[in-house]
Structure 1
Amino acid sequence: MFQAATSIPARIAPAGAARRWLALATLMFPVLLIAVDNTVLAFALPSISLALQPSSTQALWIVDVYALVLAGLLVPMGSIGDRIGRRRILLIGATGFAVVSAVAALATDSAQLIAARALIGVFGSMIMPATLSLIRNIFADDAERRLAVAIWAASYSGGAALGPLVGGALLEHFAWGSVFLLAIPALVPLLVLAPVLVPESRDPAPSPVDPPSILLIAGGATAIVYGIKEIAHDGGASAALVLAAGLGAGWAFVRRQLRRPQPMLDVQLFRNPAFSSGLAANLLSIFSLVGFTLFLSQHLQLVAGESPLRAGLLMLPGLALTIVTGLAAVRLAARFSAPTVMVAGLLLDALGYGVVLAFGHDGSLPALLAGFTIVGAGVGLAETLSNDLIIASVPPSKAGAASAISETAYELGAVLGTAILGSVLGAAYRLNVVVPEGLPAASAARARETLGGAVDAAPLLPRGPASELLASAFHAFDSGVAATAAIGAVLMLAAAGVVRLTLRPPARRRVS
């Protein structure tokens, strides 16, 4: 969809280095916001659970319906941006993102919030492809463009690190809706400065917009994640059918792209082992980080009783290490090779989950924080180089399409990290929690569904039964940590093995 991006003449770039870098700074506002949004809501989930009292399934949908919609629409929105103008679709997306975020902050029940989050995902999908395409056209010089793209990529790690900290600070003093209002001050500078500093660009020969492909990729991704959620929650044949329908839609999407002379997504790229390995490492790295963030943020606030701000500060070292190791990855790769550093990062992810499995299964806070810090270091190494590998493994004419697929993998990793690990965590909680008698039926049902529901219901009981409920709920929640850690460790080890085998350097011939 972006194949022609590199062929657009350099004259569209702003004249003068200062203006180019000011344009880049302007484009970083939405990138930071999108990255913050991936982590801040999972961090705010305990406050939302207490305020809106969602079911466990609703709580997961609140978190990942945004990333699900975003991932499903990245490729088609990129194609539309190629046709109508990338700056134009960026400004449309930013305006809608800000307006709907304000609406989400005023939601009064879970259904309203889920609907608002889905709309935010629609507008977010307009922002993501446009920023990278614009950067590639603003910076005609190869060295400058590489630095600009590196800064663009680092903004995701920075946003992930800022999410819990900013969210904790806001939740310390304001209601949960304040995390959505972040969009307004983050996007106003873009809306004011982009028309002045950022040049418009279009693909002179864009791929045609294909509505059936849009429906297949968006509907298939939705059905797959919904099926995973429902299988973990209730099981049953209906959930399996939904999952099968999603996989069928994905298969039909691939078949359609292979048959079209101008596909919306060039699925032939996946035949390249280096491309596919980089994509898997990218997806699973984000899977490990987002999944860990989901249960650690709830444990810190609801089990350990930390304030939102202190919880954010406790998580900051692990998230900050993602940035530090990401910046160090390029230098390490020059010395040890990119595949070696990627494998080391994935093994660190596995080690972090292994620490939790060995020492944090009973809710030990030092073990959980140590494991999270190790995972943060591993994600920085693996995710940064996986993006480089994805771009470097395809011809220059395919670099734009490869970037869009990389972004899609990032968002799908966030979705699946929440859906799979969150569903396992919720299932373990429901299996182990014991709710004493004496609660109203609705409160008892919520206490059986989520940890937030149990914390909310405890004040309705006398002191003794309330203590019993909380003790049981905390134990039930932490019982799921071991299961999620085991899944995370196995997936990271498998990813390390795939990268190691796929990207094995060719054997050197012995000189006789």
Structure 2
Amino acid sequence: MTHHTTKHTAAAGTPAAPARRWAALAVCCLAAMLLGIDNSVLNYAVPSLLREMGPSGTEILWISDIYGFAMGGLLVVMGNLGDRLGRKRMILLGAAAFGVASLFTAYAPTPEALIAGRALLGVAGAAMVPSTLSVVRHAFTDPKERTTAIGISSGIGAASFALGPVVGGLLLDHFWWGSVFLINVPLMAVVLVAGVLVLPESRNPRPGRLDWIGVPLSVVGVLGAIYAIKTGFRDGADHAPVWIAAAVGTAALLLFARRQVRVEEPLIDLRLFRNPAFSGAVGSNLVMIFASSTLSLAFSLYFQVVRGWSPFTAGLALLPGPLAAAFAAPLATALIPRLGRARVVALGLVLLAVSTAALGRLSAPGTSYAELLAPLVVNGAGIILIVSVTNDTILASAPRERTGAAAAVSETAMEMGGSLGIAILGSLLGAVYRDALVLPAGLPAGAAGPARESVGGAVEAAARVPGADGAALAAAAKDAFCHSIQVTTVVGAVLLALGAVAALYTLRGVPAEIPDSEAEEDMRSLSAPGR
């Protein structure tokens, strides 16, 4: 296996003027924000969709899931294409495709057309995500500025997921369901026009041949794994499609990994994982997203079902955490020289663990929102301390010509880690709820089944049961759900604390500043005989 190094040539990406590189960061942040919003905004349009389009339950699931399936399955391929064709070009192509797909999706006449539109949005998103991170990496060559810029970009990306409910709630209060997609069109036009003017171009000047056999193996492997995880834990692992997807996905990933160590120009250079900086950062991200992914889901249900707030109000209630993440990004840059990367990541995981446990403890129905506010802010600050350092470490640890592929590996791991977290911890949340639920005596038979299924089903069933029995059912379901949040958040907090210990070990030798040349030296040493 050969490995090409690059100097700071025009092809590899020259340092941009200060004003232009910060403008490029703004464009990349806007693109990342729109992608994050689109990932979560649809959940709040489902009731309108059901009324106006009448999709089946299976179609609703595909409408919700296909965006993540398409994006997750294509990240590795699109990251490599960005390295080869140019990262700016991929962002512009992705932005144009995302705008067109948004217009198509907003006016989709049938559920099938809506599924197709969401799939196209996922493809366009996959084209943009790795390249936005890579453009920021190439625009900022000073290590301190680079860390700050990647931290800001990561913070905006984190905040955008919580903006989905807020944006969706505002639009759905005044317009039809398609407005949540139509809003993308003018904003992506801004990304497209501004991107042409300010984004610097960079690419691998000697990319070699694309591994055309590895491409389908990568797509099938990741898609199969994500589908099996999501569908298996939602519908049960005894369904034949789940086992088939798991078997095909595992086989494809094994063949893909075997091929990557043999081809001259791999889609994923597996030697990167022998670099402690890269593998430790990816591992810390996995722990973070796995343990914290269920928190947003649990508290969205808590605010809407237990406390009876509207989706828009629930979105506003969750917003302080992501906003804290967006504004606390420079804190990571300031702490790295004083504490080192390992301790900053460990500190972020500890803050996340403490705030997660605190939110669980405070999740009683009568808790005031003011008591929840501080843990929400600490939670967001903890997330940004982690992702600011880990994303910068991942990109800085990879050779400059392969940063798109490195970013794609990180994003794919996050996608799969989030799916696993929601599947496993989400299942725990449901199991503890069902075990803790004590149904009132004399409850009508038709109310017991929905009540055991979910807290939302219980509250809806309680509304149909007259008198004290209905009130008792609603109270029992809310108490059981709050108990399930407390148990699940304790498990998540323990995992995060263990992740903090692991981060101290895996990232202990990573320097506070990672210059561009260091990744090249590391990769050459890993290629040396005997390694």
| TM-score, length basis structure 2 | 0.78
- Give the 3-state SS of the residue equivalent to 1:191 in structure 2: helix
Matched, 1:320 2:327: no
For 1:38 and 1:363, how far apart are their aligned partners in 2?
A: 31
The residue that corresponds to 1:501 in the other structure is 505
- Give the 3-state SS of the residue equivalent to 1:259 in structure 2: coil
Matched, 1:484 2:488: yes
| TM-score, length basis structure 1 | 0.81
- The answer (yes or no) to whether the contact 1:172–1:309 under 8 Å persists in 2 is no
- Give the 3-state SS of the residue equivalent to 1:490 in structure 2: helix
Among 305, 308, 333, which residue is 1:330 paired with?
A: 333
- The answer (yes or no) to whether the contact 1:82–1:206 under 8 Å persists in 2 is yes
Change (3 A) 1:376 1:106: same
Matched, 1:246 2:249: yes
The residue that corresponds to 1:234 in the other structure is 236
Q: By how many angstroms is 1:33 displaced?
A: 0.9
- After TM superposition, the structure 1 = structure 2 runs for residues 269-418 of structure 1, keeping only pairs within 5 Å, are 269-360=272-363, 371-396=375-400, 398-418=402-422
- After TM superposition, the structure 1 = structure 2 runs for residues 416-435 of structure 1, keeping only pairs within 5 Å, are 416-426=420-430
For 2:460 and 2:111, how far apart are their aligned partners in 1?
A: 16
- Give the 3-state SS of the residue equivalent to 1:9 in structure 2: coil
Deviation per residue, 1:379-420 (Å, 9 max, x gap) = 121121112222344455554443332233333344334343
Change (3 A) 1:337 1:223: same
- The answer (yes or no) to whether the contact 2:355–2:379 under 8 Å persists in 1 is yes
Q: By how many angstroms is 1:497 displaced?
A: 2.3
- Give the 3-state SS of the residue equivalent to 2:319 in structure 1: helix
For 2:128 and 2:20, how far apart are their aligned partners in 1?
A: 21
- The answer (yes or no) to whether the contact 2:16–2:139 under 8 Å persists in 1 is no
The residue that corresponds to 1:509 in the other structure is none
The residue that corresponds to 1:165 in the other structure is 166
- Give the 3-state SS of the residue equivalent to 1:421 in structure 2: helix
Q: By how many angstroms is 1:428 displaced?
A: 5.4
For 1:142 and 1:342, how far apart are their aligned partners in 2?
A: 17
- The answer (yes or no) to whether the contact 2:15–2:138 under 8 Å persists in 1 is no
- The answer (yes or no) to whether the contact 1:355–1:370 under 8 Å persists in 2 is no
**Structure 1 gaps, min length 5:** 507-512
Structure 2 counterpart of 1:307, one-letter code: S
The residue that corresponds to 2:513 in the other structure is none
- The answer (yes or no) to whether the contact 1:220–1:245 under 8 Å persists in 2 is yes
Aligned-residue sequence identity (percent) comes to: 40
User: Which range is displaced more, 349-358 or 179-188?
Assistant: 349-358
The residue that corresponds to 2:195 in the other structure is 194
- The answer (yes or no) to whether the contact 2:294–2:426 under 8 Å persists in 1 is yes
User: Which range is displaced more, 266-275 or 229-238?
Assistant: 229-238
For 1:105 and 1:181, how far apart are their aligned partners in 2?
A: 6
The residue that corresponds to 1:510 in the other structure is none
The residue that corresponds to 2:71 in the other structure is 70
Change (3 A) 1:279 1:55: farther
User: Which range is displaced more, 271-280 or 246-255?
Assistant: 246-255
The residue that corresponds to 1:36 in the other structure is 37
For 2:488 and 2:58, how far apart are their aligned partners in 1?
A: 17
Matched, 1:260 2:263: yes
Structure 2 counterpart of 1:153, one-letter code: S
The residue that corresponds to 1:81 in the other structure is 82
For 1:428 and 1:325, how far apart are their aligned partners in 2?
A: 35
For 1:188 and 1:98, how far apart are their aligned partners in 2?
A: 7
Change (3 A) 1:429 1:482: same
- Give the 3-state SS of the residue equivalent to 1:119 in structure 2: helix
For 2:355 and 2:408, how far apart are their aligned partners in 1?
A: 29
Structure 1 counterpart of 2:407, one-letter code: S
Q: How many residues align?
A: 503
- Give the 3-state SS of the residue equivalent to 2:265 in structure 1: coil
> Aligned Cα RMSD in Å?
4.1
Structure 1 counterpart of 2:499, one-letter code: A
Deviation per residue, 1:236-270 (Å, 9 max, x gap) = 27445643443333222211111111101101111
Structure 2 counterpart of 1:377, one-letter code: A
The residue that corresponds to 2:524 in the other structure is none
Deviation per residue, 1:152-196 (Å, 9 max, x gap) = 334323424534433343344445543333312320112233334
Change (3 A) 1:201 1:86: same
Structure 2 counterpart of 1:91, one-letter code: L
For 1:424 and 1:396, how far apart are their aligned partners in 2?
A: 42
**Structure 2 gaps, min length 5:** 511-531
Q: By how many angstroms is 1:125 displaced?
A: 0.5
